[in-house]
Structure 1
């Protein structure tokens, strides 16, 4: 869920009187490699309509009917949430008995999985879902995505227990590694910056790394794609297959998941939607637009990285005018890459026209690392590593807070190496437009793009 929705839920559940309260979450459901519930809206159950005590709550069935009515057309899942003001992060026997009754009613109204959850005063949430046989299953992860990314892990058989009683694990510790082992991450673009990002994520210990890139290894990019070899270039090896093999040598089988497709394909979009985190390391505006929409619709934190070396002519020839790295953190419900003018409708149209005319495309010289200067094999790995490392550090600072200042001050980081400067833009420094696609998941057409629509 977004931080905004979590805050609204917490404010209602803990009005300050020490008594239990209740609310209902309406959740879009995404069923990929695993099932995700995307909290889309909340129905607060009015305090005055309930019988409320310190360790008991009873509320009228009218609000269940309201939730069913809202969920029926879209076949959304319903999550019943109540507070435990005393701080008990668990389900009581009374909660179990209540669920057996209410879940049956919910399933009779909308025949999909539903669930229940409890929240304690510090905001932590524990949840479980029920199938059509009324069998409960613990929710393995609840993520609250805002300036900070809060991860609440459930106890799941076969996975390490993550102690969240004192907040997030300390950054750079073995406890952080245990937490990362429970998470999935997607990297779009596994080339200059993407290979450096993916290398770090693999060695940090992510449990699953989804690699998306349709391209193949060429000799001209061996100087900036980690782990690539002359043999890979000679055989035109798939970049993602090559990198997945590298991860397997370090981490073993089952960690890397290569998707040798363009991110502009339905298969790649749905694969990325399975991830808990998204890193965008591409060089086209269209791919960034796709990543932007995935983050919004599937409630995935997005980290976007780009580098640029503009040139100028001083009368004697071309010279470097700047050496830049840009890192944007995009939280669903916040300012998007479009809001930040990373791409626009006009720039997308121009890019499409250039791609349709390769000759004109080559003449523009705006696509490469070195703007205004044609270079087949730019020696940019040092800049790529600087920007990619800063991008991964931005993730660590969000999920395992360590900064002195609030993370809201760092929605964008601009590295200006030539000037020996770094500039930071706060989340409040960008405009934010209303997002009708927030948390709608895989609703058709996928991402609102006709070309990605599923077959009838």
Structure 2
């Protein structure tokens, strides 16, 4: 949600939104411009409203396609709409859906970017990390370089099996089931940097394979190319 307004104000006009989640009370301190009256509404429909508002403010004629679907189990119509996009942004909260977005992007030749935050909690935050990475055929694959993990994706997939399999995954801590804390400040940073990375690519200024900021020690890593090490063939990009 945090990336919407910067994208519109950067000149992007056509959007395809895919998400089956609805706004919950725990989202109110994490999603910008979302109100209590939005609780229970599909996030993509709230996002569509925000795109229209931002577009009107800058005189931009925005167009939005909305799919209230899970990208992993999405209809062929939804996946065709995604593959018609020039850019696919994977801003989901699990590896399974991000790998699905990655595969759709590589199959269609779309630019792929993913962004997110990692917060490790005990009695207080132990780690605050913001990260953005991309993908390009023949150059960089988040799976090959370890930025996405098929093993974690297989755990995420247990949700679709349900029953004892899903219960076991939750009970043994394989799948976190705790609402994230208020991270709007970090989300805003990731959103702005993600849009900046798109603008750099469009302007021909180059691209980063990985951008990472660790707020615990103040370190910033911007890596233009990542040397990949792959044991066996990657089932997504096909590299071996």
Which TM-score band (shorter chain)?
A: 0.7 to 0.9
Cα 1:386–1:250 shift into 2, 3 Å: closer
How far residue 206 of structure 1 moved from its aligned partner, in angstroms, is: 1.0
Distance 1:354 1:339 in 2: 25
Cα 1:436–1:223 shift into 2, 3 Å: closer
**Superposition map of 1:227-246 within 5 A:** 227-233=33-39, 236-246=40-50
How far residue 250 of structure 1 moved from its aligned partner, in angstroms, is: 3.0
Q: Which runs of 5+ in 1 are unaligned?
A: 1-194, 313-317, 369-373, 439-456
Distance 1:362 1:208 in 2: 42
**Superposition map of 1:160-171 within 5 A:** none
2:83 to 273, 276, 287: 273
How far residue 209 of structure 1 moved from its aligned partner, in angstroms, is: 1.3
1:234-278 alpha-carbon deviations (Å, 9 max, x no partner): xx1111111111222332565222221111113332211111111
Cα 1:436–1:308 shift into 2, 3 Å: closer
**Superposition map of 1:319-330 within 5 A:** 319-330=124-135
1:378 to 177, 181, 185: 181
Report the RMSD for the aligned CA atoms in angstroms: 2.6
Cα 1:211–1:414 shift into 2, 3 Å: same
1:148-168 alpha-carbon deviations (Å, 9 max, x no partner): xxxxxxxxxxxxxxxxxxxxx
Cα 1:219–1:436 shift into 2, 3 Å: closer
Distance 2:189 2:104 in 1: 26
Distance 1:239 1:362 in 2: 28
- Structure with a larger share of its residues in helix: 2
Cα 1:218–1:338 shift into 2, 3 Å: same
Partner of 2:103: 293
Whether 1:393 and 2:196 are equivalent positions in the alignment is yes
1:200-243 alpha-carbon deviations (Å, 9 max, x no partner): 1122221201111111111111111122211111xx11111111
Partner of 1:364: 173
2:19 to 203, 213, 219: 213
Distance 2:167 2:27 in 1: 20
Partner of 1:336: 141
Partner of 2:211: 413
- Structure with a larger share of its residues in strand: 1
Distance 1:341 1:327 in 2: 13
8 Å contact from structure 2 (residues 134, 142) kept in 1: no
Aligned residue pairs total 227
TM normalised by structure 2 equals 0.83
Q: Which runs of 5+ in 2 are unaligned?
A: none
> Bigger relative contact order, structure 1 or 2, given CA contacts below 8 A and separation 6+?
2
Cα 1:229–1:392 shift into 2, 3 Å: same
Distance 2:149 2:30 in 1: 29
How far residue 436 of structure 1 moved from its aligned partner, in angstroms, is: 8.6
SS of alignment partner, residue 332 of structure 1 = coil
How far residue 345 of structure 1 moved from its aligned partner, in angstroms, is: 3.2
1:332-389 alpha-carbon deviations (Å, 9 max, x no partner): 3322121122333322222223663246426527536xxxxx4x36111101111121
Cα 1:383–1:362 shift into 2, 3 Å: farther
TM normalised by structure 1 equals 0.46
Whether 1:424 and 2:222 are equivalent positions in the alignment is yes
SS of alignment partner, residue 118 of structure 2 = strand
Distance 1:428 1:386 in 2: 23
* Greater Cα radius of gyration, structure 1 or 2: 1
How far residue 294 of structure 1 moved from its aligned partner, in angstroms, is: 1.2
Partner of 2:155: 350
